[in-house]
Amino acid sequence: MEKLYRLNRPTLSVDTKTLETVTIPQGELVAVGDEREDRMVNVTWNGRTLMMFRQDVMRGKIVTGRG
């Protein structure tokens, strides 16, 4: 099940298609579909699939809705 996290700081990620680095701004919501990975997880942000370090996602606050 997908979980939403609000990032508490700007966070680097990597676009899974282009391999470009992307900085996600502080306060943005990212959707995490599978948290079972040890180091990197795929997230969705602004319609893009990105890879982030799991610990960076977990530093954010889990939210129950879109607000």
Domain map of the chain by residue range?
3-63
Whole-Å CA distances, 11 to 14, 23, 26, 31, 36 = 10, 5, 7, 14, 20
> Does residue 38 surpass a pLDDT of 70?
yes
Section 5-34 average pLDDT: 94
Structure confidence at residue 15 as a pLDDT band (50, 70, 90): very high
Provide CATH code, domain 3-63: 2.30.30
pTM: 0.83
Compute the mean pLDDT over every residue in the chain, rounded to the nearest whole number. 89
Collapse the DSSP code of 49 into the 3-class scheme (helix H, G, I; strand E, B; otherwise coil) and give the result. strand
Q: Which residues pair with 3 in a beta bridge?
A: 32
The predicted structure's pLDDT at residue 33? 79
